[in-house]
Each structure stands twice: as structure tokens, then as C-alpha cells.
Chain A
Amino acid sequence: DTGVSQDPRHKITKRGQNVTFRCDPISEHNRLYWYRQTLGQGPEFLTYFQNEAQLEKSRLLSDRFSAERPKGSFSTLEIQRTEQGDSAMYLCASSLGGGRALSPRNEQFFGPGTRLTVL
């Protein structure tokens, strides 16, 4: 396993269109996170899964955003009716952990990201 992968790496779309991104985490990792990063800023937390359960969703995530992790493996992030403000790098990360047995190092492994441009 070479790490977290994301597809596509780049996506250009027109305002109003729907887009879907895929993330494949490191195979044994039960936790999966989505972040959004704009130029000159740090990644912003969007949502988090433990196995197939979506446990937290940021208030940044409007109703146009939805994420799934149907079998506790890969995850998809869909943005409906895209807006120019959605243009950003969408990062996926995965880690080991569960309940109170948090990884001492709390290390999250990030994928290369999907760069979305909304015209």
C-alpha cells in the first residue's frame, strides 16, 4: 500500500454542476477525514468517518456537500450546484484509532488532494 490516493487530481467544472471526488485511505486505517485548503491557508476540517459512520460534520459544510464511506473503505465527497467559492484543494486523510484508544502520535496521512476549479 503506497498511501492515501485521491481521484481525480484536478477537476474543472462550471458553476452549477455537480462534482464527486474519491478517496482511498491506507487499507488498515479505520478513520477518514476530509479537509479543504485554499491558497495561503491551512487545511480546514470538513468531516470525519470512523469506519462507515460519519461522526462529525463541520458547520463549513453546507447542504450542498455530502460525504459517504459506504463499506468503511473508500470515501466519496460530492458537491452539488458548485459555486466559485468552492474552488479549493480538497484533501483526504486517514489514520488509525478508535474510541479512547487514540494513536499516541495522532498522525494523519494525507492524500495528494483534488484541486477543484469552478468557472
Chain B
Amino acid sequence: GQSLEQPSEVTAVEGAIVQINCTYQTSGFYGLSWYQQHDGGAPTFLSYNGLDGLEETGRFSSFLSRSDSYGYLLLQELQMKDSASYFCAVSLNYGGATNKLIFGTGTLLAVQP
């Protein structure tokens, strides 16, 4: 089967750096994405790793190690508005016909003043 594991909750203070880890066991792996979801809102795309290494987008960075089936999302200079749920999601690819997402259970990030 497919499974993704991430911590259920993380707490940090404004201005700090936080890392959210994700480990996965899937077949047909194509890449790892990260989505942010505020309470009652739609998931919004943050970052994607198709290859090993670090991808940086402003205050957010994401890392992938395919050999370790592991990735993380790094959030820097935390702001109160970063309080949200963060989901890692694996893209599955079977012969290029689909790129459906398999989501983890999410990490609830609470940013405190």
C-alpha cells in the first residue's frame, strides 16, 4: 500500500525556523509536493521536488532524498500567518498516464508570538 508519515503537530515562535519531515512508502513514485491548508480553506501548493536536493522558494524550502524515501519542508522567518496544516503528497506515475496525489495526514503548525 501507500503510506506517508509526518508529525501531527509542531509549535514554533515568530521569526524562528521550523522543519516538517515526511517519510513515505509508495510504488510508482514520481515526486514529492508540499501543500498548505488554512482552517476551512483549500490546499495551496507550496513546493515540489522531482529530483534529490533542495528547492528554495522565498521563505520556504523543500528537500528530497529518494534513496531514503524522505523529504522535509523548511519554513524560515516564521510569521503568524504561517499557522496552518502542512501536507506532504507523493505524485504517483504509472507510465506517465496520471499524476494523482497521495497525501499524508498533515502537520498542524502553530506559530506563537
Residue of A nearest to B88 (CB): A42
A67 partner residues in chain B, CB cutoff 8 A = none
CB atoms of B48 and A107 under 8 A apart: yes
Q: Which of A1-29 contact B (CB under 8 A)?
A: 4
Chain B interface residue count, Cβ-Cβ cutoff 8 angstroms: 27
Residue of B nearest to A46 (CB): B100
B113 partner residues in chain A, CB cutoff 8 A = none
Chain A interface residue count, Cβ-Cβ cutoff 8 angstroms: 30
CB atoms of B50 and A45 under 8 A apart: no
Q: How far is the CA of A56 from the CA of B48 in the complex (A)?
A: 23
A44 partner residues in chain B, CB cutoff 8 A = 103
Q: Which of B54-113 contact A (CB under 8 A)?
A: 87, 89, 91, 93, 96-106
Q: How far does the Cβ of A56 sit from chain B's closest Cβ, in whole Å?
A: 6
B42 partner residues in chain A, CB cutoff 8 A = 4, 91, 110-113
Q: State whether the Cβ of A100 lies closer than 8 Å to any Cβ in chain B.
A: yes
Q: How far is the CA of A97 from the CA of B97 in the complex (A)?
A: 10
Q: State whether the Cβ of B43 lies closer than 8 Å to any Cβ in chain A.
A: yes
Using CB atoms and an 8 Å cutoff, list the residues of chain A in contact with chain B. Answer: 4, 31, 33, 35, 40-45, 48, 55-56, 91, 95, 97, 99-100, 102-113
Using CB atoms and an 8 Å cutoff, list the residues of chain B in contact with chain A. Answer: 4, 30-31, 33, 35, 41-45, 48, 50, 87, 89, 91, 93, 96-106
